């Protein structure tokens, strides 16, 4: 943004012409098709599109396997990061169950550090992933009734907590309510940051793990159907992250809990582990930008577009 | 090669067969340690990982790079970087004021040890404002450099050449020329008073030597470790010390040869420098110092760190008038020698013009490495002329350093430099 709209006093100061095409190119590098991303267009599909919801059927067992793995990931073109992951990605996989399902997660630790999974929500205290760290090579079975309805983060809770989280051990758990939500085009966005040189500050910010990804590959949505975003903030080091939509408004429900009221806005802020459900009924087709309304985060990777199509 | 023989008995005739064998033996013993060293290093580099493994994990490279000039041009910001690490380093991402920016590298983004690259960042910068440039390696390590104020990079252009030249003349040539105008006054002084002024000159030059050495260390601290530390400075000091000594020997020889019997009595003391030769040597030493001073002014201006206020220029000018005095003293000592105006002008130019060259170099093609070397050379040259002046003082004042005139003069020289340097800040 600075590159595109910066003042031109330097230019006028010595009266020579500045080739603007290179600045336009710079704008594209931050906001568009030229974004420094090497991953293919479908690289984040599994982290963006949640599995379909299932009808309410109390006691149904839903089994998942989560493996803690240390892995090198590429956050922005050319920059590698030694990530600690659930199932190889940062954020970890989307877990989706319905309220009153029996959530059964087999957790395998194939790293050199102890890890755990701490789910936000209601469950027995010994299923909380805090006092039961899982040693390297060991495994643990988390089993509890999924509640309350909404969207919740899960993350490792082994000290030093700051390191275990900033290295990537977190993800999204969707618990669908008894009364199904109306059909929508559903997306999951986990906002995060990466401190690649361990100086206690994030070098890059992303949604779902790759900086500028949705700037390079806009998310295609249809104008005829509501767009529903399960939004979670797992950013370490910064107190707040945020989501701002261009050229439209949306409704926002804290935690996605059905009893929470909806409010109307174009900008929401979340502290770490705060989450909610966003619903957008796009008024107009076209490219709608979305990004953190902390401009620093935008230009370090947290920006993207909805490509709203009339269909 | 004979000198390397280990034998203690008297050396036999090298022509004799036994001597020949011994000489071959000498070569063998001279080369053996080097051959063994090569072998051992070869074996070590083949198994080094295993040796480090005995200690523990070899930590990864720190992957920080070092920055050279940052130039603000019409089409963006140009940043020179060097890889000071022992391992290759890859430029992966670039930020301007903490925002990721498009960039191009003039060559492969992977740099071997000491490789240099220029990173071109299309960016609409604002003149006069501070900027912070970050370069992140492929391993995620970010190195940051900051620029106090963006100054449009004009390249080498006529008005810049003229501007830097005028500043160089003002802080270099003019004060030295003014200082030389004390010469007639100095000629009226008694021998004792003149020795006092020689000591004052020694004080001035000692200050300059130390000042230059300190600057050299400051510049060296900005260099990546791989480019050498104290060795680089010591080498510069030694080369210029020996070089100026050889130069003043040559001058002395020439002076004696051409002037014949008309040479001043002091010069005939052969070993002791004096008169025009010493004045020229001092002018060269001061000139090398002014080269460094010009370099500092030009660089600070180019980096936007220096507001070239008139007080600063006044400070340097006042400070440097003392340098003219330093050159005039040995001339006054050689009273019988007529000093022509042409010779005086030449001395003023030798001592002052390098400030112009320094301002050009600093303003247009600055590098920390050059600055380190220049200041080291200035320190060595100043130290050499201090040595020569001390010898002259020794010859002229048997009382030496303990005599009030010499001691007082020396301290006064340092005090004058200190006080006038405060004006320059």
In a domain, A1, yes or no: no
Regarding whether B239 and B376 lie in a shared domain, the answer is: yes
Of A7, A30, A197, the CB nearest to B141: A197
CB neighbour list of residue B215: distance below 8 Å, 6 or more residues apart:
B292, B296, B371, B375
Q: What is the pLDDT of residues B51-90, one digit of tens each?
A: 777 777 666 667 888 888 888 998 899 999 988 888 899 9
CA proximity to B385, closest of B279, B270, B232: B279
Q: Judging by DSSP bridges, how do beta strands B76-82 and B66-73 pair with one another?
A: antiparallel
Query: Is A187 found in the same domain as A122?
Result: no
Last residue of a domain, one of A176, A210, A230: A176
pLDDT tens digit sequence for B393-406 = 888 777 777 788 89
Domain membership flag for residue A191: yes
Identify whether residues B168 and B283 lie together within a single domain.
yes
Asked if residue A13 belongs to a domain, the reply is: no
Q: Which residue has the tokens 């959530």?
A: A103
* Domain shared by B139 and B8, yes or no: no
| Residue B153 included in any domain | no
Q: Could you tell me if residue B86 is inside a domain?
A: yes
Q: Indicate whether B105 and B227 sit together in one domain.
A: no
Single pTM value for the model: 0.71
The answer to whether the CB atoms of B99 and A194 lie below 8 A apart is: no
Give all strands (DSSP E) within B138-281, no chain letters: 142-147
**B64 preceded by a cis bond (ω within 30 of 0):** no
What CATH number is given to the structural domain containing B123?
2.60.40.10
Across B34-49, average pLDDT: 88
- Domain co-membership, A99 together with A217: no
Residues B50 and B77 in one domain: no
What does the alpha-carbon distance between residue B323 and residue B175 come to, in Å, rounded to a whole number? 8
Query: Domain tally for chain A?
Result: 2
Q: In angstroms, rounded to a whole number, what is the distance separating the alpha carbons of residues B32 and B170? A: 60
pLDDT, one tens digit per residue, over A123-170 is 999 999 999 999 999 999 999 999 999 999 999 999 999 999 999 999
Together in a domain, B124 and B192: no
Q: Does A38 touch chain B (CB under 8 A)?
A: no
A291 and A222 in a common domain: yes
Q: Does residue A22 form part of some domain? A: no
> What are the start-end ranges of the E strands in A28-78?
61-76
Q: For residue A138, what are the CA distances in angstroms to A83, A112, A135? A: 20, 11, 5
Residue A202 lies in a domain: yes
* Contact residues for A193 (Cβ-Cβ < 8 A; gap 6+): A166, A202, A204, A205, A206, A235, A236, A237, A238, A241, A297
Report the length, in residues, of chain A: 311
Nearest to A165 by CA among A75, A273, A73, A64: A273
Chunk chain A into consecutive blocks of 10 residues (it has 311) and report each block's average pLDDT, rounded to whole numbers. 35 40 64 84 96 97 97 94 96 98 98 96 96 95 97 96 94 97 97 92 96 95 97 96 97 97 97 97 97 94 96 75
Q: A259: domain range? A: 36-43+183-309
* Domain contains A294: yes
Nearest to A197 among B72, B90, B142 (CB): B142
Q: Which of B102, B122, B152 sits opposite A14 (nearest CB)?
A: B152
Count other Cβ atoms within 10 Å, centred on residue A136: 12
Is this prediction's ipTM beyond 0.90? no
- Of A153, A130, A150, nearest in space to A142 by CA: A130
**CB-CB neighbors (< 8 A) of B136 in chain A:** 79, 196-197, 203
In this structure, is residue A23 part of a structural domain?
no
Band the pLDDT of B44: cuts 50, 70, 90. confident
Same domain, A166 and A190: no
Residues 6+ apart with CB under 8 A from B410: B199, B200, B202, B203, B206, B401
A158 lies in the same domain as A251: no
DSSP designation for A117:
-
Are residues A194 and A86 part of one domain?
no
Residue A110 per-residue DSSP state: -
Say whether both B143 and B162 belong to one domain.
Answer: no
Range B24-38 average pLDDT: 88
Residues in B closer than 8 angstroms to A197, CB to CB, are: 136, 140-142
Residues A133 and A231 in one domain: no
How many separate domains does chain B show? 3
CATH of the domain at A138: 2.60.40.420
Q: Which domain holds residue B31?
A: 2-55
Q: How many angstroms separate the CA atoms of B96 and B142, rounded?
A: 12
My answer on whether B207 and B351 are in the same domain is: yes
Report if residue A277 sits inside a domain: yes
């Amino acid at each position: 943004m600075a590159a595109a709209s910066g003042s031109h006093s330097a230019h006028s100061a010595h009266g020579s012409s500045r080739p603007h095409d290179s600045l336009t190119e710079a704008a594209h590098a931050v906001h568009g098709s030229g974004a420094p991303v090497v991953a293919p267009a479908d690289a984040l599909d599994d982290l963006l599109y949640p599995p379909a919801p299932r009808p309410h059927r109390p006691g149904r067992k839903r089994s998942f396997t989560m493996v803690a793995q240390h892995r090198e990931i590429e956050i922005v073109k050319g920059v590698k990061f030694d990530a600690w992951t659930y199932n190889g990605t940062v954020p970890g996989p989307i877990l989706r169950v319905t309220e009153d399902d029996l959530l059964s997660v087999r957790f395998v630790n194939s790293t050199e550090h102890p890890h755990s999974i701490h789910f936000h929500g209601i469950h027995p205290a010994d299923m909380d992933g805090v006092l039961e760290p899982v040693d390297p090579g060991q495994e643990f079975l988390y089993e509890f009734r999924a509640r309350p309805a909404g969207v919740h983060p899960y993350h490792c809770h082994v000290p030093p907590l700051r390191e275990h989280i900033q290295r990537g051990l977190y993800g999204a758990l969707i618990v669908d309510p008894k009364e199904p939500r109306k059909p929508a085009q559903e997306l999951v966005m986990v906002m995060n940051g990466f401190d690649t040189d361990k100086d206690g500050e994030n070098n890059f910010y992303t949604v779902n793990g790759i900086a500028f990804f949705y700037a390079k590959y806009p998310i295609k949505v249809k104008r005829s159907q509501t767009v529903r975003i399960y939004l979670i903030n797992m950013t370490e080091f910064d107190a707040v992250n945020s989501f701002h939509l261009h050229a439209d408004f949306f409704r926002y429900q804290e935690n996605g809990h059905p009893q929470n009221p909806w409010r109307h806005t174009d900008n929401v802020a979340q502290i770490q582990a705060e989450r909610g459900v966003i619903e957008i009924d796009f008024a107009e087709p076209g490219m709608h930008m979305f990004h953190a309304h902390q401009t620093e985060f935008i230009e370090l990777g947290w920006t993207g577009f909805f490509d709203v199509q009339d269909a | 090669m004979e000198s390397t023989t280990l034998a203690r008995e008297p050396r036999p005739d090298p022509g004799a067969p036994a001597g020949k064998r011994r000489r071959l033996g000498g070569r063998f013993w001279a080369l053996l340690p080097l051959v063994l060293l090569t072998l051992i290093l070869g074996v070590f580099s083949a198994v080094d990982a295993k040796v480090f493994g005995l200690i523990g994990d070899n930590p990864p490279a720190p992957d920080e790079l070092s920055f050279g000039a940052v130039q603000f041009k019409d089409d963006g910001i140009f940043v020179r970087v060097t890889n000071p690490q022992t391992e290759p380093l890859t430029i992966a991402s670039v930020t301007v004021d903490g925002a990721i920016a498009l960039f191009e590298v003039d060559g492969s983004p992977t740099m071997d040890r000491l490789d240099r690259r220029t990173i071109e960042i299309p960016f609409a910068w604002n003149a006069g404002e501070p900027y912070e440039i970050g370069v992140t390696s492929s391993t995620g390590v970010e190195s940051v450099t900051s620029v106090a104020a963006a100054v449009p990079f004009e390249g080498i252009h006529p008005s810049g050449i003229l501007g830097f030249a005028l500043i160089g003349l003002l802080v270099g040539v003019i004060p030295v020329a003014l200082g030389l105008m004390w010469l007639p006054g100095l000629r009226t002084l008694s021998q004792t008073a003149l020795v006092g002024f020689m000591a004052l000159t020694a004080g001035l030059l000692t200050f300059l030597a130390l000042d230059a050495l300190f600057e050299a260390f400051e510049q060296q601290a900005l260099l990546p470790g791989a480019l050498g530390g104290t060795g680089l400075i010591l080498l510069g000091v030694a080369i210029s010390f020996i070089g100026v000594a050889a130069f003043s020997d040559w001058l002395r020889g020439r002076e004696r040869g051409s002037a014949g019997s008309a040479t001043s009595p002091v010069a005939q003391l052969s070993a002791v420098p004096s008169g025009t030769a010493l004045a020229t040597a001092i002018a060269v030493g001061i000139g090398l110092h002014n080269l460094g001073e010009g370099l500092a002014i030009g660089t600070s201006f180019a980096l936007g760190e220096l507001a070239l206020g008139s007080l600063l220029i006044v400070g340097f000018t006042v400070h440097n008038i003392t340098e003219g005095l330093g050159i005039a003293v040995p001339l006054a000592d050689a009273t019988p020698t007529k000093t022509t105006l042409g010779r005086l002008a030449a001395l003023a130019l030798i001592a002052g013009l390098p400030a112009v060259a320094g301002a050009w170099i600093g303003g247009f093609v600055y590098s920390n490495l050059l600055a380190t070397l220049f200041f080291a050379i200035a320190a060595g040259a100043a130290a050499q002329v201090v040595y020569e002046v001390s010898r002259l003082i020794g010859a002229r004042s048997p009382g030496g350093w303990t005599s009030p005139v010499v001691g007082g003069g020396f301290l006064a020289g340092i005090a004058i430099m200190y006080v006038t340097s405060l004006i320059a800040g």
